[in-house]
Structure 1
Amino acid sequence: MDIKALRYFVELIQQQSFTRASESLFVTQPTISKMIKNLEQSVSQPLIHREGRRFWLTEAGEIVYARALQILESMEQMQSELDDLNQLQRGHLRLGIPPMVGHLYASLIRSFKQRYPNIELTIVEYGGKRIEQALLHGELDVAMTMLEEQARPEFTQLPLDSYPVHAIVPNSQHWQKQTQVKWKDLEHEPFYIYTKEFTLSEYIHQRCLQVGFNPQVSARSSQWDFLVALVKSGNGVTFLPEPLCHRVKDDGVLVKPMVHSMDWSLGLIWHAERYVPKAAEAWIELCRHKKLGRA
């Protein structure tokens, strides 16, 4: 059975069009038809029903298509592993980083690029929840994110840093008098918090429930500076990890420590059972050195 024929067959089924498949594969439609015919002869059964321009899989076609996906994935995996043997002179690292986290590890990214200039680095900015889904679906190799208190068994994690989360409140007499903010003090305040794909958003909600109230969420955003601007309007509250608080330079808001604050614990996560590319291994090792103060 020809691997190329399987690839043409899979592309045809996925595109659902001989024209689109030929354009995607950069071959003629007769070439695809010939490949499908050879594949049908090799299994001694028709793989697709045809009716004019329409076609659909036979029972044999469904079996071949499902197995072909596995075979092609295995071939790609093998090629990926072989490429990695080239001492990181080529490769691709797909790194997920939430928007709030990126600036903290900019120097680490620079160090990586200096050490491995030929590795293509793709950085994807997602919230923590979406990052986890991307890792599960194989869209990312590794990710920097806020670590959950209960680590998911699907992931291996490497803790790196931990910071307290502070409240950002309006610069008013009411808040000026307080050196710290209790969660219960915020019960009747509008909450400006992150979208639900952010792990921090879920933690804030849980902390409010623990002290006996459901937060009044007035607005959500993935942009922390926009949330701070909403607080500047004169009421409400948002929350920032300590490193971001240093970037708040505005007379209209105050940064207040929280009583019984939560920790913004950052670390690296990757799929526990999937093959880790050499480029991702190099990134993980660099992060380990960073944790030990040697990066």
Structure 2
Amino acid sequence: MDIKQLQYFVAIVDQSTFTKAANTLHISQPSLSAAIKKLEMEAGFPLFDRASRNIGITKEGKILYQEAKKLLRHYETVSDEMLRLREEGPLELSIGLIESSMFFVPKILTVFKREFSNVRISLLETLSLSDVEKALNNFNIHLAITNQYIQNEDIETIPIYKENLVALLPLGHYLENKDYLQIKDLEGEVFIVSKEGFQTRKDILNAFKKSGINPNIQFEIERFETGCSLVENNLGITIVPENYVRYAKKHECSIKPIDNSNISRTVYIAYDKNRYLSPLVMRFILLIRSFFENEINREKL
């Protein structure tokens, strides 16, 4: 079984007929048929159901098709990497980011660019779980910085830091005089929360559930910046990561810690284990992990 055989097989499935696939591949139909028969002999089972007029794919063929697509994407990625290296063109690093990661990413990029000055870097927002998985599986990004723990055998998820979540109140709110809040203090308050599919929403609503409180959700958002703006305009209360408000631009609202061990989140590095990761990608991952190891050591001093 070789790459060319898999390319032929995938082309037939995608084109639905041997004739169209042969035209797309610029080979004769007999040559294509012979290659697929050889592939079936090596695999030990038929890939197509030839009993009907329209070619159908067998159950075994469907499994091979899915795995072959992954392998071909990986092969193309490695080929592209090698071509760039041969031509000495600009190297690339694509990173998927959550909004709050910008408090540390520029610091790491500064160090990284000293070592790899010619690397072209793409920073893409990948916020929800589906965004992250799709971007990694399609090889749109080399790695993601995410607060989603991804239950996927193809994706490696490494924790890098944990942080508390804090409440944001409009200035002059009656809860502003409290040093810290309890979840029960927010009962009945107009609440602003991330939309479905965001891990922060799950973390917050889980804490409410454990406290026996049903939040009065009036606004659903995608970005913390939007939530802060709504709070500043006295439209409700929201909960955000402490590092977001610590490092973001100053907001005209009151920041309150929450006395609840359930209100926290973990941030991860995630990457596709089936993808070739160049030395520069591995170096960036190492710089992230080293940054937070040093942060922990500084806090202990």
| TM-score, length basis structure 1 | 0.71
Cα contact 1:191–1:216 (8 A) shared by 2: yes
CA shift, 1:10, in A, is: 1.1
Residue 143 of structure 1 is matched in structure 2 by: 144
Residue 56 of structure 1 is matched in structure 2 by: 55
CA shift, 1:202, in A, is: 1.0
Distance 1:223 1:72 in 2: 34
1:1-295 equivalences in 2 (<5 Å): 3-16=3-16, 28=26, 31=27, 33-39=29-35, 42=38, 55-57=54-56, 66-67=63-64, 70=67, 74=71, 77=74, 93-117=93-117, 119=119, 121-127=121-127, 129-130=129-130, 133-134=133-134, 137=137, 139=139, 141-146=142-147, 155-160=156-161, 162-246=162-246, 247=248, 249-251=250-252, 253-260=253-260, 262-270=263-271, 274=274, 277-278=277-278, 279-293=280-294
Letter paired with 2:163: Y
Cα contact 1:231–1:238 (8 A) shared by 2: yes
Distance 1:203 1:46 in 2: 45
Give deviations 1:74-96, integer Å, cap 9, x for gaps.
57657867968x7xx88654533
Greater Cα offset, 184-193 or 255-264: 255-264
CA shift, 1:209, in A, is: 1.4
Distance 1:39 1:179 in 2: 73
In structure 1, the gaps of 5 or more residues are none
Cα contact 1:146–1:199 (8 A) shared by 2: yes
Distance 2:173 2:230 in 1: 18
Give deviations 1:269-295, integer Å, cap 9, x for gaps.
446x6566234322222223223439x
2:100 match: secondary structure: coil
Distance 1:50 1:92 in 2: 48
Letter paired with 1:143: A
CA shift, 1:213, in A, is: 0.7
Distance 1:49 1:126 in 2: 43
* Aligned-residue identity in percent: 18
In structure 2, the gaps of 5 or more residues are 296-301
Q: How many residues align?
A: 279
CA shift, 1:108, in A, is: 1.1
Greater Cα offset, 132-141 or 97-106: 132-141
Query: What is the alpha-carbon root mean square deviation over aligned residues?
Result: 4.2
Letter paired with 1:182: Q
Distance 2:108 2:3 in 1: 41
Distance 1:147 1:91 in 2: 28
Greater Cα offset, 259-268 or 96-105: 259-268
Cα contact 1:18–1:32 (8 A) shared by 2: no
